[in-house]
Amino acid sequence: MASLAPTLREGPEGANKTVEDIELLIVEVEGKPEPEPRPRADTRGERPRIYVPTTAKAWKLEIRKRTRVELLRAGINSAIPVRARAFALGFLFRFARPKSHYRQGRYADQLKPSAPQCHLGVPDLDNLIKAVKDSLGTWKGTKPALLWADDSQVTTYIGNPHKRYCEPGEEPGLTLVIWAC
């Protein structure tokens, strides 16, 4: 899917555009979507410790990278997070179908009649969304924030965020729509 150009508010010629100038930004991220992992606890020796696994770190960095590219493409080169602005987000997560969904032999390119149409398994949609929101704000290892200072600035979801299997010829990944209210 081709990336759509972002819509920007008109400003004076040659003015530095900031994140506040975004009205609509569409970001395409390729790769397997990863959920935000839940905190874990273990005991080493006598002291318990709480930690968050880093299983989604590469995915979150890729989301940041692709968003930064789209911001630069829009002429926004200062990614100073906005503190007093609300954002709305739209999500479409695409997952590769497992081989078990396909027939075998000369019909290997056809889905089995029993193959589910919707992506019903893990990861949960809530945890996928949390990873995206964290990647565009501040999270351990990434300072400063990219778009917002706090996740609470995301006030609305555009449409129905959903996850589905890839259509034939489509790559796994994420289509993210960012709208500054």
Quick check: 177 and 3 in contact, CB under 8 A? no
166 vs 50, which has greater pLDDT? 166
pLDDT at residue 179 is higher than 50:
yes
The residue with tokens 């906005």 is 82
User: Taking the model in full, what pTM does it have?
Assistant: 0.80
99 vs 118: CA distance, rounded Å: 15
The 3-state secondary structure of 79-97 reads CCCECCCCEEEEEEEEECC
Q: Are 173 and 96 in contact (CB under 8 A)?
A: no
Q: Parse the chain into domains and list their residue ranges.
A: 7-180
Is the pLDDT at 173 greater than 80? The verdict is yes
Closest CA to 29 of 174, 177, 153, 156: 174
106-158: pLDDT as tens digits: 998 899 999 998 898 899 999 999 999 988 887 666 667 788 888 888 999 99
Q: Where does the pLDDT of residue 3 fall: very low under 50, low under 70, confident under 90, or very high at 90 and above?
A: very low
Multiple choice CATH, 7-180, 3.40.718.10, 3.10.20.30, 1.10.760.10, 3.30.1330.70: 3.30.1330.70
Q: How far apart are CA 80 and CA 50, in angstroms?
A: 31
pLDDT at position 143 is: 67
pLDDT confidence tier of residue 89, bands split at 50, 70 and 90 = very high
